[in-house]
Amino acid sequence: MFRILAVMLVLVQANSTRSLPAVDVKAADIQATVKQEIATKTTDIPIRTVDAGGQHIGVAVVHREKGAGPNNAAIHDKVSEVYQITEGSGTFVTGGELVNPQRRENTSETVTQLSGPGIGGSGIKGGVSRRVAKGDMVIIPAGTSHGFSEIQESITYTVVRIDPARVIKLK
């Protein structure tokens, strides 16, 4: 988590022309959000999205249950993401082509609250697969297809979303 916050700080300082207040995302907030996701069977809940002086930066947490197969593959047009695995493991795929690609509606909650405009799919054909586990980080540039092909054990990861187009609503 420290590495993610350090990356965010560098990005904010590099593009900021005015002093903005720092924003804390406490471990208790992350854990409460994971509990909410499990209770409501929700996968991705944003915790905070802030104006970081030229771009929006969001912090979310994602929880996926063991055994989940290919799902929620995506390409985000404008938003880059940084994942840090906090629990569990899975097989993560980047690159390649989306299977059954569908452009997301600009008014959908996924676009306005989570990851901005883009395309969703049921999986990825081709691409690079790698096993990710607790402590690992993955940087996913905007325009890169990505998704889990398999969840070996329930997985939880934080997501930092860098939104230079400021399409994600502040929270």
User: Do 57 and 12 touch, CB atoms closer than 8 A?
Assistant: yes
79 or 104: which carries more pLDDT confidence? 79
Quick: pLDDT tens for 107-126.
878 777 788 899 999 999 99
Average pLDDT value for the chain:
88
Per-residue pLDDT at 13 exceeds 60: no
φ, ψ at 156 (rounded to 5°): -130, 135
Per-residue pLDDT at 145 exceeds 90: yes
Instruction: Report the pLDDT averaged over residues 144-152.
Output: 93
Per-residue pLDDT at 3 exceeds 70: no
Residue 50 and residue 15: Cα distance in Å, rounded?
14
Residue 159 and residue 116: Cα distance in Å, rounded?
14
pTM for the model stands at 0.84
Res. 48 pLDDT band, cuts 50 70 90? very high
User: Do 169 and 44 touch, CB atoms closer than 8 A?
Assistant: no
Per-residue pLDDT at 104 exceeds 70: yes
Res. 43 pLDDT band, cuts 50 70 90? confident
Task: List the single range of 19-23, 28-32, 64-68, 156-160 with lowest mean pLDDT.
Answer: 64-68
